[in-house]
Structure 1
Amino acid sequence: MKILLTGGSGLIGTRILETNKGHQFATPDLPDFDITDKDLVARTFQDYQPDIVFHLAAYTNTQAAQSSPDKSHAINVVGTSNVLEACQKVGSRVLFFSTDFVFDGEKGSYTEEDGPNPIGEYAKHKKEAENLVSQSGLDYLIIRTAYPYRAVYELKSDCVRWMLPKLASKEKLTLVDDQYLTPTFVDELVSSVYLLVDKKAEGIYHVTGSECLSFLDMGKIVCEVWGFDKSLISGISLEEFNAKMDRVNVNPKNSCLSTDKLKKDFGLVLSDFRTGVSLMKKQLEV
């Protein structure tokens, strides 16, 4: 299968490439490949003629998107539109990666049937991009995931790795205790992606870890798995944290995703957080 991967240098994209099993990948990326350049996107797709496009390239800084909404819109919406138009011209399928942030967080345990109601600019743009994908007329798969973490990735931290050096040096951490999410071990996300693509899954699927936790819950589990002192961590409300950090509130209070559809259709259940970080720890010890 010929796959064109946008965002191939990212946290998830690099792991997709590292675990490739026989597929032919093209991985155009910045600075040479800019998805906001419509003509460049079209030429790249014509040259490679992919069977499917894995579209991961995105502007994901939720706080910066509030102050620079035009940049977020250009990459997340216009860029996606350019990718879809190029897919239409070469007749390729598309896999679009989306986010739990498309929901407002008022309910939790969101299914694929629940209607999105994004509250921040980034989330609004991802939802707009989802609409473009679903209305494109292409064979499409949208995967919504949340808070990915992995053992090694040098270009960007994640919801687990940022804690490790701080806790190892006995630095005290204050973690939000009333925002709930479903953290996802990247290795299992990627293996699920390959299975869904091979099975020609269509529509929307939630692919996340199987446990709904607060950041404080996650910190306690990280301490237990690594043997750090749990007294180093304490809780704070999301409202207090945003005020302390002078942040705009764009985080859903409970964006936990239900993966019942994934289990029903394909028998897939990703690990709980303790299992995921234990696997991550083993990889770091090799």
Structure 2
Amino acid sequence: MRFLVTGSNGLVGSRVCALLERAGHEVVGLGKGPRRTPLHHAYVECDLTDERRLSGALEAAAPEVIIHPASMTEVDSCERDPEQAFAVNVGATGAVARSARKLGAHLVHVSTDYVFDGEAGPYDEQALPNPRGVYALTKHMAEQAARTFVPGCAIARTAVVYGWPAAGRANFGAWLVGAFSQGQPVRLFEDQYVSASFADSVAEMLVELGERKLGGVWNTCGADVVDRVSFGRALCEVFGFDAGLITPTRLADMKLASPRPLRSGLRVDKVRAQLRSQPLGLGESLRRFHAAWQAGRGA
């Protein structure tokens, strides 16, 4: 099958491309700036906010399936620059979806648990979104844009994606490893509950949604909902770091630019029942994360 993957330099996109290559699919990756991965698939440098160039790249690739992880994910940056957040998260998704409709391609759009307000998580696929903040609003609008042009698309919601090696800016897990490796103390939220998701596992689920051309909403995330302090302590146990470096704090004390959902997290019953690629529990995810870190260090 012919696949096109946006954000192919990124944490999830690069792993999706690697899995597709390994499975023998024809792959075209789209990314901002030069290629930053050692993969062999075709690559097109493309700013997704340039709709004319984006549409041309998609039409030239003529994919059967488009997997769209690319987005502006820095929550506070979105709050400070809503125009850019709208352009990347909503405008680009609308352009991708319009091209998918024109090409007759199946679309797998990657979204987030932030579409919920965090008042009553964890959430299943039938829960009604209530986004707060620019990032959350633009990701919710992106879901609507995808559905508008490709009603049979898959909406794949994930949360706090981490992996090694990091791609671009450090993800939550990679940031913790970097800090703990240097003996640096960190402050983690004890009152924010999330479905932390290992990037390799997320990529496996996205690839399956694409290969099987499945539609609807899917929670493609980690299997366990934990607060960030518990995640940090579990990481320390697996990696052998000092959990005493963690200082629990509350979200309200940080005075961040953008609101975050507190009791968030996503239920994975549907994925467990219907996908071959199963969501990983926290322990297994961290063991795989640790193995990737050790391999990257040549350990």
What letter is aligned with 2:125?
Answer: E
Q: Is the 8 A contact 1:176 1:215 kept in 2?
A: yes
1:18 Cα deviation from its structure 2 partner: 2.2
Alignment of 1:39-78 (within 5 A): 39-78=52-91
1:224 Cα deviation from its structure 2 partner: 0.8
Q: Distance in 2 between matches of 1:137 and 1:174?
A: 42
1:102-134 deviation digits (Å, cap 9, x = unpaired): 000000110111100000101101101101112
Q: Distance in 2 between matches of 1:214 and 1:251?
A: 13
Q: Distance in 1 between matches of 2:276 and 2:245?
A: 39
2:283 is equivalent to residue 274 of structure 1 = yes
Q: Is the 8 A contact 2:10 2:167 kept in 1?
A: no
Q: Which residues of structure 2 form unaligned runs of 5+?
A: 34-44
2:120 is equivalent to residue 107 of structure 1 = yes
1:267 Cα deviation from its structure 2 partner: 5.5
Most deviating of 27-36 and 54-63: 27-36
Residues 121 and 225 of structure 1: is their aligned pair in 2 closer, same or farther, counting only changes over 3 Å?
same
Alignment of 1:163-202 (within 5 A): 163-202=176-215
1:135 Cα deviation from its structure 2 partner: 2.1
Q: Distance in 2 between matches of 1:30 and 1:175?
A: 31
Residue identity over aligned pairs, in percent, reads 27
Q: Distance in 1 between matches of 2:8 and 2:201?
A: 17
Moved over 6 A (4+): none
Q: Is the 8 A contact 2:147 2:153 kept in 1?
A: yes
Provide the alpha-carbon RMSD of the alignment.
1.5
Q: Distance in 1 between matches of 2:65 and 2:276?
A: 24
Q: Is the 8 A contact 1:76 1:126 kept in 2?
A: yes
Residues 25 and 239 of structure 1: is their aligned pair in 2 closer, same or farther, counting only changes over 3 Å?
same
What letter is aligned with 1:158?
Answer: N
1:139 Cα deviation from its structure 2 partner: 3.0
Aligned residue for 2:272?
Answer: 263
1:169 Cα deviation from its structure 2 partner: 2.5
Q: Distance in 1 between matches of 2:199 and 2:180?
A: 22
Q: Is the 8 A contact 2:9 2:31 kept in 1?
A: yes
Paired positions, count:
282
Q: Distance in 1 between matches of 2:170 and 2:19?
A: 20
Q: Which residues of structure 1 form unaligned runs of 5+?
A: none
1:29 Cα deviation from its structure 2 partner: 2.1
Q: Distance in 2 between matches of 1:166 and 1:266?
A: 35
2:152 is equivalent to residue 143 of structure 1 = no
Using structure 1 for the length normalisation, give the TM-score. 0.94
What letter is aligned with 1:17?
Answer: C
1:269 Cα deviation from its structure 2 partner: 3.5
